[in-house]
Amino acid sequence: MSITVVFFLGLFVALIGVIPPGLLNMTAAKISLKEGPGRGITFSSGVCLVVFIQTYVAAIFARYLSNRPDIVEILQRVAFVIFVLITIYFLVIARNQKETKVEADTRSKRSRFFHGMLLSALNVFPIPYQAYMTITLASFGWMNFEKTSIVTYVTGAAMGTFVMLYFYIFFFDKIKDKKFTSQKSMNYSIGIITGIVALVTFINILKEL
């Protein structure tokens, strides 16, 4: 598979994971509104550095699992159940979520770069998410676990995260009053994304039966 394709696969997968308004992208947007886009970009750079490391760790873990098809088979079924439960959870709470507007205020930090690294490090979801996605992409033959392919994919994932954070930094002021930036919409978005991942997982399970 072309490294260009692998790069854009990493970019797309990361982009999907960061689209819903969450802690990282909303914090980047708030910092931009309060302190200027430059500080928001500095924060985002810290986030993306940790995402790069997290995705690399996930890919190495996925490479190990790829040599253990018995474990992968079990994890696929466990992942399917987990994603279904997460989907149901977020769709149910979204239905009962009261609409709240996002406030622009945020605490000041001496170093937004390390602030971004800290918040990103606390968000461990990318590791299991990227480990599962890389295994899935490899099962379709869209990437492999050679060093060049892994580094290219990881770079694409970091860039995809940055692109979405960049979007929030420069366009949040125009969209902050829109419905999709509310907590309710965020829950719906997460529920839809995990639902799609659950569907892909289910298809893979059926293929292996």
Q: What is the SS3 string spanning 104-159? A: CCCCCCCCHHHHHHHHHHHCCCHHHHHHHHHHHHHHCCCCCCCHHHHHHHHHHHHH
The model's pLDDT over 118-161, given as tens digits with 9 standing for 90+, comes to 999 988 778 888 888 888 888 788 888 899 999 999 999 999 99
The model's pLDDT over 42-67, given as tens digits with 9 standing for 90+, comes to 999 999 999 999 999 999 988 888 77
The model's pTM: 0.75
Cβ–Cβ under 8 Å, residues 17 and 189: no
Tokens coding 189: 């978005």
Q: What is the mean pLDDT of residues 9-30?
A: 84
The model's pLDDT over 174-198, given as tens digits with 9 standing for 90+, comes to 655 555 445 566 667 777 777 887 8
The model's pLDDT over 75-109, given as tens digits with 9 standing for 90+, comes to 778 778 877 887 887 777 656 655 444 444 444 44
SS3 content of the chain, % helix, strand, coil (to 5): 80, 0, 20
